[in-house]
Structures are given as C-alpha cells and as structure tokens.
Amino acid sequence: MTMPQSLSAAAPVRKDAPVRATRAAFQSVDDKDMLRAARDLTKGLGEARPGIYWPDMLLSAGIGYAGIAVAILSHTLAVQVAAGLVAALALYRALMFIHELTHIHRDALPGFRTGWNLLVGIPMLTPSFMYEGVHTIHHKRTQYGTAEDPEYLPLALMKPWSLPAFVLVALLAPLALVVRFAVLVPLGAVIPAVRTLVWERFSALSINPEFRRRPPEGDLVRRVRWQEALASVWAIVLLASPFVIGWRPLLIALAIFSFTAVLNQLRTLVAHLWENEGEPMTVTAQFLDSVNVPPPGLAAEIWAPVGLRYHALHHLMPSMPYHDLPEAHRRLARELGTGSTYEGANHPGMLTLVSRIARSTMGKRG
C-alpha cells in the first residue's frame, strides 16, 4: 500500500467550521499529521483476502440472478416486486467489485478479475475494462476535480435541474449498454470511425461529458478484446431472446438493471461534495471533498456497499481492500478524535448529503 506524500504542515480544522472553508484551507497545503496517522495506524492492514472477496462476490451474484429468475417466473405482482428489489440490491453489490478490481494488485487475487467478468461484468454488460485505466485518473493528485477527471462534475455549483437529470439518466443505462455492445461494436469492427467514436465516448464509466478515452495500452489491450467480444455476443443474444421466449423476461431484467443503475447514480451523487471548480487539490482537500458515511447507521452498507461508505478514507488509501476499511476508520477516528480534519469528511447519511448539494444548486437558478 502506498501513501500520497503531503506537501506541508497545516493545523487540523475543527468540524464545526464551514466545510467549504475547511476544504479551502487545505487547497494548497496538506494536513501532514492526518496523512502520517493514516500511514502509521493502518500497518498490518492492506492485504486482499480471497476468503472474503470470492464468497462475497459469488453469494451476491447468486442471490441477484436467483431474484431475477423468481421475478420472471412469478405471476404475482408482490412477489415480482420483492424478488426484483432483492435482485437489484444483490447485483448492485456484486457489480461494485469493479471498483476493487481497479485498485488491487494484479497478483493479489488470482483468477478474481476473470471470474468477476464472466459472472458479473459481462452478463451485466459492464466488463472491467470500462473502469480499468479510467478510475485511476480520478485518484491522480493533479487531475482529481479538474476537467481531466472522468468522474468529477461540480454538481453543487450547477443549476438545480442538473441533479434530477443526473440521476434519472441512469434509467437508460442498461438499454444504452445493449445498443453499445450489440450494435456499435459489430459496426466498429467494419467501420474504423465508429470504433474510434465508441472507444473515446462510450467505453468508460464516466460522468464528465468532456472526457475522451485514450487508446488502450499494454495488458489492457488483450483484456478489452476478449471482454468486449463476449459482451457483444451476450448483448446480441439478449436482443434476439424475445423472438424465442417473448419480451417479458428481457423487460423484467432491464427494469431490475435500471433500478441498480439509478441506485449507483444516487451513490455517485453523494460520493463527493462536488464543490471544486476545476483547480488542482491537495490530498487533504480531495479527502474533505469526498464522503464517509460511517456506522452506526446501517443503510449506507446497502446503498454504498463493498467499502464505498468509506469513500473519503478510500481517497487517502486507494489500495486498501474494502474489508479492511472499517478497521482503518475505527483506528483513525479513535486516534484523531473529535474536531480533527479526519472527522470533517464524516457525514450522517444520503438524505443529508443530497439536501446539502441541492441547497447549493439553489443559488444557480436559471
């Protein structure tokens, strides 16, 4: 595990200070005490454990697909809705392992990347290449929160209508992925211009409309080829399935995937405070612009699974496995205490965060 180097010392700012001012205080200097504590207090953590990753992913995927089957086979509305909800939440958790794949060492979990793609990524038309090589840009010291960051928009500084639009567009994500893999990939195989367009604009899980993805390099080239080929075949099968088994199974599955996509978009909406206007930020400023939703609340474990409830802490220690983040948080919270810079990134829940961002956009009417 590597720790980002701080730039210069700065006194911790108390949580009762305005958060915008807190982040601004660390825009050009780091809280070296906090960064040092994050490094020293988490010794002994950081090893990805196959005995946790594999059962968690397999159980989540299994429950998800079983839920889809029940929703399709049942003709009782209440059972369909309940099964669909369970399926969406379970598949959402299984899908979120894509985030872990971008950070764990390639030798840490033999076979896990391939297994996840075959069981989750390709069936859900979100293979890991759509995140690998993209998400790491979001963690680069000089690119986080800038126009080059594929995963950042200053949502808190945008117009009020931008928030519902940001969330509701996710409803179309499953259909867009079917079109991408079933139609555009085959077209791109014979029309180079289409292939270039698809890669640059539709091959990354990005929220920044200005982001253009560069051509793949190294080992990623091989992974893109087989993942995209299998996903394309699967998408074509999905499109052809109504002619064999009718429209009902496909429409139910797409509805479940749409709910999963909206839930992920809601989580994305509250993963940061979105208050940066494009300037480079220190590690501490990035941390304070990010969000932890720690216990005792249980809801965050559902809408921010696989360690994502500790998103700010993740920005301090990107390579920390998700199963070690709760213990890392406990150590840092206990040592640094109330009023510390570390506490400034802790928030009570999704509703509070959505309300905060919404209030900020109210000043951007028109």
Q: Can you give the pTM of this predicted structure?
A: 0.90
Classify residue 275 by burial, with Cβ atoms within 10 Å: 0-12, 13-18, 19+. Answer: buried
pLDDT by residue for the chain (366 residues), tens only, comes to 333 333 233 334 434 344 444 666 676 688 899 999 999 999 999 999 999 999 999 999 999 999 999 999 999 999 999 999 999 999 999 999 999 999 988 788 999 999 999 999 999 999 999 999 899 999 988 899 888 999 999 999 999 999 999 999 999 999 999 999 999 999 999 999 999 999 999 999 999 999 999 999 998 999 999 999 999 999 999 999 999 999 999 999 999 999 999 999 999 999 999 988 888 889 999 999 999 999 998 999 999 999 999 999 999 999 999 999 999 999 999 999 888 999 999 999 999 999 999 999 887 554
The alpha carbon torsion through 221, 271, 208, 98 (nearest 10 deg) reads: 20
Position 24 scores a pLDDT of 66
CB burial of 182-194 (b: ≥16 within 10 Å; e: otherwise) equals bbbbeebeeeeeb
Amino acid identity for residue 298 in this structure: L
CB atoms near residue 245 (< 10 Å):
11
- Picking from 295, 39, 271, the residue whose alpha carbon sits closest to that of residue 139 is 271
Q: Would you state the structure tokens that stand for residue 200, as one six-digit string?
A: 């640059």
* CA angle, residues 160, 165, 169, in degrees to nearest 5: 165
Domain locations in the chain as residue ranges: 18-48+142-366
- In angstroms, rounded to a whole number, what is the distance separating the alpha carbons of residues 310 and 326? 8
- In angstroms, rounded to a whole number, what is the distance separating the alpha carbons of residues 212 and 216? 12
Q: Would you state the structure tokens that stand for residue 362, as one six-digit string?
A: 């109210």
Position 25 scores a pLDDT of 67
- In angstroms, rounded to a whole number, what is the distance separating the alpha carbons of residues 92 and 108? 23
CB atoms near residue 31 (< 10 Å):
29
- In angstroms, rounded to a whole number, what is the distance separating the alpha carbons of residues 327 and 349? 20
User: Distances from the Cα of 340 to the Cαs of 22, 36, 93, in angstroms?
Assistant: 11, 14, 31
